[in-house]
Amino acid sequence: MKQKILMVLILAILLNYGQSNFASAFDLEDLIGTEHLHGLLEGRNPVLSQFKDPEPRLLPRHDLLKGLIDKVRRDLEPGTLVETLHLYRKPDVAERAAWTGSEETELYNSMLALSTLTGLKYYSASRGAIRTLYEASMIIDGPATKKPLPDPVYSQPQKELSLFARQHDLSFGDNIYKYDYYYAPGSLIFIQENLTSLSAGIIPAVGKNKLRSVVAILDAGNYILVYVASMAKTVSFPGMKERIGNSFTNRAEAVFNWFSTQADKAFAKANQQ
């Protein structure tokens, strides 16, 4: 009798371990369809820029992400929308079903590490050269006091979390942002919102609270799908929307490069434990 009870307890522990550490991954084709899937696997990254009555057209089929995008659109009523899709192949994969619990946590913490954006490079279309995107990036305690804080670390992903950051952008200056993080199994999503006006030189490019950048990280077995949507209610100077659209596209590429570097480190750290 004791042996039977012990076996039941062991089985329950193993089942709970499996559920918490090996969640189901999304199917790439279900998320984005056949056409985009083939393009991504062949190394083509879809980019779509819209400047009049924009509607998401690259949005993965994902309920939480769709709900967040819909809310941003209602609140912001953007005049500019730039969407991109990227595919990250997990290191040392062997037909994996999903990221493990420890990998998920490491990935989550790596996305909270906003200080690692310092020195990030991107291609500046206006200057035709590679430039530094963020000269400085740090977590702060709030937009009023702006006291620097270390990057937070959690033992497991939080369902919802908000952080404030101070980032010195070489194009848009020294600004304060709010980062809202959302977690669901197999999904890490964050939204950046500007709490100060962004200016390109002496020209105000994007007003306070008029920018949202949504980054979705979706587990897809051997791959991670990264969707970036940048939305803004921009000024109407001639050519300004197109200029900002080009900037968003190149910044999205830089964000994906940052994610790839962070993900490499997160997977390596998780699999050393």
Q: What residue ranges in the chain does DSSP mark as E strands? A: 47-50, 80-89, 121-124, 129-132, 134-140, 148-149, 160-169, 173-184, 187-194, 198-200, 203-220, 223-234
CATH number of the domain residue 35 falls in: 3.30.530.20
User: Is 185 part of a structural domain of the chain?
Assistant: yes
200-213: average pLDDT: 78
Sign of CA dihedral 71, 190, 55, 239: positive
pLDDT, the chain, mean: 87
Q: What is the pLDDT of residue 95?
A: 64
Closest by Cα among 128, 117, 139 to 254:
117
Give the residue-averaged pLDDT of 28-52.
Answer: 93
Buried b (16+ CB within 10 A) or exposed e, 194-204: bbbbbebeeeb
Q: Under a CB-based contact definition with an 8 Å cutoff, are residues 60 and 227 in contact?
A: yes
* Least reliable range by pLDDT among 67-71, 183-187, 269-273: 269-273
In the chain, the number of structural domains is 1
**pLDDT class for 23, splitting at 50, 70, 90?**
low
Nearest partner of 117 among 153, 155, 165, 156, judged by Cα = 165
Domain residues for the domain of 257 are: 30-270
Supply the pTM of this predicted model. Answer: 0.88
CA atoms within 13 A on the CB side of 24: 3
Tokens 């209610």, residue located: 233
pLDDT at 184: 97
The pLDDT tens digits for 174-197 are 999 999 999 999 999 999 999 998
pLDDT of residue 273: 67
Percent of the chain with pLDDT over 70: 85
pLDDT surpasses 90 at 6: no
Give the span between the Cα atoms of 167 and 112, in whole angstroms. 14
